Amino acid sequence: MKMLNIALPKGRLGEKVYAMFEKCGYECPEIKENGRKLIFENEEVGVRYFWVKPSDVSIYVERGAADIGVAGKDILLEYAPDVYEFLDMNIGKCRMAVAGKKGFFDDRRKTLKVATKFVEIAKAHYASKCREIDIIKLNGSIEIAPILGLSDVIVDIVETGTTLKENDLEVVETIVPISARLIANKSSYKFKTEEITRLSAALSEIIPD
Binding positions for ligand PRP, rule: CB under 6 A = 140, 142, 156-163
CB of 158 to ligand PRP, least distance (A): 5
Q: Contact 87/196 with Cβ under 8 angstroms? A: no
Query: C-alpha distances in angstroms, 195 versus 8, 86, 205?
Result: 17, 14, 16
Nearer to ligand PRP, 38 or 171 (CB): 171
Of 155, 157, 142, nearest in space to 94 by CA:
157
Q: Give least dist CB 208 to ligand PRP, A.
A: 18
Pairing mode, if any, of strands 180-184 and 68-72? antiparallel
Write down the least CB distance from residue 143 to ligand PRP, Å.
6
Residue 164: helix, strand or coil by DSSP?
Answer: helix
* Residue 140 C-beta: closest distance to ligand PRP, Å: 4
CB closer to ligand PRP, 83 vs 158: 158
CA distance 180 to 178: 7
Q: Return the amino acid letter for 132.
A: E
**Minimum separation from the CB atom of position 171 to ligand PRP (A):** 10
Nearer to ligand PRP, 151 or 188 (CB): 151
CA 92, 125, 184, 54 torsion-angle sign = negative
Of 90 and 141, nearer to ligand PRP (C-beta) is 141
CA distance 104 to 106: 7
Question: Which C-beta is closer to ligand PRP: that of 28 or that of 122?
Answer: 122
